[in-house]
């Protein structure tokens, strides 16, 4: 079972929690300055440090050249790797947990990017898991570190702890009320950022937002995690209030039912249309208006993305073909 | 940012390739990206892509006075400060030591005047058990301290026969002494 299919804490609002640690080996230049041979040396060193006899069976070690571009993009759609990592395979490798809750990119922007992805709000657990990998790595390899600047990273924005923690939030009621702009400027003052998690950045498709820490230097891992958790809980409380108010409105409840109707009957659905409709239906399901497991809807959000459909179909479909496949899969899931 | 291909539409697809240490970037609109075979009509966050660009932006107002230092390179990876500015990417761990003073203003613009407060790797803890704890909290360096730093750098530059750099440093020291 994949992690995003299991029910969990604050699951009505929080889709997932992600923690990432950026690390580099002291004895090699950063990836952009590293040839393929040296990159492979880094990959092997990290693989040997992190994969032990106890855990080897639950991970796959994937040299990125062994994937087709579509398979790589599908991993990016699932947020298991970055789009940039998917766009170039030279000397890169991925250590991926079989249940997809740990994903370690080798020679992305940094030599090692340890990522843990848990469902719901689980910042402390996710950080603890990432830290365990970090500790295993530093037992075996000299890590690039400076007492003033902390962990040294290719891009100075990650200096310090190299920790980026984020929470993916479904905030349809706050978005509907037009409070996101104000919220986002308040959050910026606290050293955090919130932005649309899906789409090209022009708008938050499906009202799904990613809240993450910005500052990594001068703050401890524990403090960063606690801050983020506290702000996430406040946003969750605000969203709950906004939902209660919104669901007194018959016009809005009608929109939820209509969205459900389209998802159950459409012959073609584009990814962004589906995402916006699933967002409304997910709100209905979370608030007890519709009787649909949230995990079913979470799964649609992940698995109905273009490259992931291509991978499932085993071929490169046209956009129109995918829209038909998507509509049918959605219909089946909601039947 | 406009599409590099048609120069008409807003670029929405950003492709960065790193081959043998050479980085190339492409910024295309959705139409051109499709035409060129980057048919990623899915959506995922491009966090890791936008950050280096922002960082280059931070660097863009670095004083021109530093232009004279262009030739000087990190001994470990060969990066010049100029290249770091241009790409927004630091070459290796030693670059941070080599270009520390020149990187610091940009780092402080991102993070504030902060000092690392998080974990320390075991290897470092073993080598220097109390180093991090002993250091006093970071304060604005006094003019004397700044001059001392620059003088040490100038000495290094002279030893390395990097007279161009030494001349710039000498001028900076002169300016600071005028202030004091
Ligand atoms: Zn174009
Ligand atoms: Zn270097």
Per residue of chain A (335 residues), give pLDDT as tens: 454 445 577 889 999 999 999 999 999 999 999 999 999 999 999 999 999 999 999 999 999 999 998 899 889 888 899 988 998 899 999 999 999 999 999 999 999 999 999 999 999 999 999 999 999 999 999 999 999 999 999 999 999 999 999 999 999 999 988 888 889 888 988 889 998 887 656 678 899 999 999 889 999 999 999 999 999 999 999 999 999 999 999 999 999 999 999 999 999 999 999 999 999 999 999 999 999 999 999 999 988 988 889 889 988 899 999 999 999 999 999 99
Nearest neighbour of A147 by CB, restricted to B45, B107, B132? B132
CA A128 to the chain's CA centroid: 18
**Residues A267 and A312 occupy one common structural domain:** yes
- Given pLDDT bands bounded at 50, 70 and 90, which one contains residue B66? very low
Residues in B touching A209 (Cβ below 8 Å): none
Nearest neighbour of B17 by CB, restricted to A88, A144, A210? A88
CATH (domain of A22) = 3.30.590.10
SS3 A85: helix
**Residues A149 and A288 occupy one common structural domain:** no
Domain of residue A137, residue span: 3-243
List the one residue out of A316, A94, A331, A119 whose CA is nearest residue A308.
Answer: A316
Which of A216, A243, A270 finishes a domain?
A: A243
**Residues A199 and A277 occupy one common structural domain:** no
CATH class held by domain B1-46:
alpha beta
Mean pLDDT of the B32-42 span:
56
Residues in A touching B107 (Cβ below 8 Å): 149, 156, 159, 217
Q: How far apart are CA A63 and CA A57, in angstroms?
A: 17
Q: For residue A330, what is the enclosing H or E element?
A: helix A319-334
**Residues A98 and A153 occupy one common structural domain:** yes
Burial class (CB in 10 A: 0-12, 13-18, 19+), A133: buried
Cβ contact B111–A160 (<8 Å)? yes
pLDDT at A94: 98
Nearest neighbour of A215 by CB, restricted to B48, B52, B111? B111
- The residues, any chain, with a CB within 8 Å of residue B59's CB and separated by 6 or more, are B84, B85, B88, B106
A171 and A235 Cβ atoms separated by less than 8 Å: yes
B9 part of contact set with chain A, CB < 8 Å: no
pLDDT at B24: 55
ipTM > 0.85, yes or no: no
Tell me how many residue pairs between chain A and chain B have CB atoms under 8 A apart.
Answer: 192
B120 part of contact set with chain A, CB < 8 Å: yes
Top pLDDT among B167 and A206 is at A206
Which of A243, A270, A304 finishes a domain?
A: A243
**Residues A43 and A110 occupy one common structural domain:** yes
pLDDT digits (tens, 9 = 90+) for B69-118: 445 899 999 999 988 988 889 999 999 999 999 999 889 888 888 899 99
Q: Which ligand is nearest to the CA of B29?
A: 1
Which of A243, A267, A282 finishes a domain?
A: A243
Residues in B touching A309 (Cβ below 8 Å): none
**B residues 73-92 closer than 8 Å to A (CB):** 76-79, 87-92
pLDDT at B125: 60
User: Chain A interface, mutation test: which of B16, B26, B34, B43, most A Cβ atoms within 10 Å?
Assistant: B43
Q: How far is the CA of A192 from the centre of ligand 1 (A)?
A: 33
A239 and A10 Cβ atoms separated by less than 8 Å: no
CA distances from A329 to A4, A333, B9 (A): 18, 6, 34
- Given pLDDT bands bounded at 50, 70 and 90, which one contains residue B122? confident
Number of domains making up chain A: 2
pLDDT at B62: 45
Q: Beta strands A150-151 and A145-146: pairing type?
A: antiparallel
B159 part of contact set with chain A, CB < 8 Å: no
pLDDT at B148: 72
**Residues A262 and A309 occupy one common structural domain:** yes
């Amino acid at each position: 079972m994949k992690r995003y299919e299991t029910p969990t804490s604050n699951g009505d609002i929080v889709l997932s929690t992600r923690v990432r640690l950026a690390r580099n080996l002291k004895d090699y230049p950063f990836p952009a300055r590293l040839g393929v041979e040296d990159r492979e040396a880094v990959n092997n060193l990290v693989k040997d440090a992190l994969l032990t006899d106890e855990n080897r069976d639950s991970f796959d070690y994937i040299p990125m050249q062994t994937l087709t571009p579509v398979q790589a993009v599908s991993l990016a759609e699932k947020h298991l790797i970055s789009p940039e990592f998917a766009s170039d395979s030279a000397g890169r490798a991925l250590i991926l947990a079989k249940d997809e809750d740990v994903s370690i990119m080798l020679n992305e922007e940094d030599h090692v990017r340890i990522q843990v992805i848990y469902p719901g709000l689980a910042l402390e657990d996710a950080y603890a898991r990432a830290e365990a990998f970090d500790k295993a790595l530093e037992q075996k390899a000299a890590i690039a570190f400076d007492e003033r600047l902390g962990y040294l990273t290719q891009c100075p924005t990650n200096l310090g702890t190299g920790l980026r923690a984020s929470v993916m939030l479904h905030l349809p009621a706050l978005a509907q009320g037009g409070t996101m702009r104000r919220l986002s400027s308040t959050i910026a003052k606290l050293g955090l950022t919130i932005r649309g998690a899906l789409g090209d950045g022009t708008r938050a498709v499906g009202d799904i937002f990613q809240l993450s820490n910005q500052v990594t230097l001068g703050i401890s891992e524990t403090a960063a995690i606690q801050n983020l958790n506290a702000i996430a809980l406040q946003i969750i409380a605000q969203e709950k209030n906004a939902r209660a108010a919104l669901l007194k409105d018959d016009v809005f409840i009608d929109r939820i039912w209509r969205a459900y109707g389209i998802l159950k009957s459409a012959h073609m659905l584009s990814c962004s249309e589906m995402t916006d409709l699933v967002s409304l239906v997910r709100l209905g399901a979370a608030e007890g208006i519709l009787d649909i497991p949230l995990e079913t809807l979470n799964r649609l959000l992940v698995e109905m993305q273009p490259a992931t459909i291509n991978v499932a179909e085993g071929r490169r479909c046209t956009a129109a073909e995918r829209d038909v496949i998507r509509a049918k899969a959605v219909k089946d899931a909601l039947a | 940012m406009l599409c590099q291909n048609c120069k008409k539409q807003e670029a929405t697809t950003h492709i960065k390739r790193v081959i043998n240490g050479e980085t190339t970037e492409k910024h295309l609109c959705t139409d051109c990206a499709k035409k060129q075979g980057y048919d990623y009509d899915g959506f995922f966050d491009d966090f890791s892509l936008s950050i280096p660009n922002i960082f280059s932006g931070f660097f863009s107002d670095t004083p021109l006075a530093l232009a004279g230092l262009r030739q000087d390179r990190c001994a470990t990876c060969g990066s010049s400060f100029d290249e770091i500015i241009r790409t927004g990417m630091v070459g290796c761990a030693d670059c941070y030591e080599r270009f520390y003073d020149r990187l610091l203003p940009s780092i402080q613009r991102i993070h504030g005047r902060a000092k690392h407060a998080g974990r320390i790797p075991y290897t470092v803890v073993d080598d220097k058990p109390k180093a991090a704890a002993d250091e006093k909290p970071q304060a604005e360096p006094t003019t004397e301290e700044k001059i001392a730093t620059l003088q040490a750098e100038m000495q290094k530059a002279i030893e390395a026969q990097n007279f161009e750099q030494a001349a710039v440093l000498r001028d900076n020291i002169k300016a600071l002494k005028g202030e004091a």
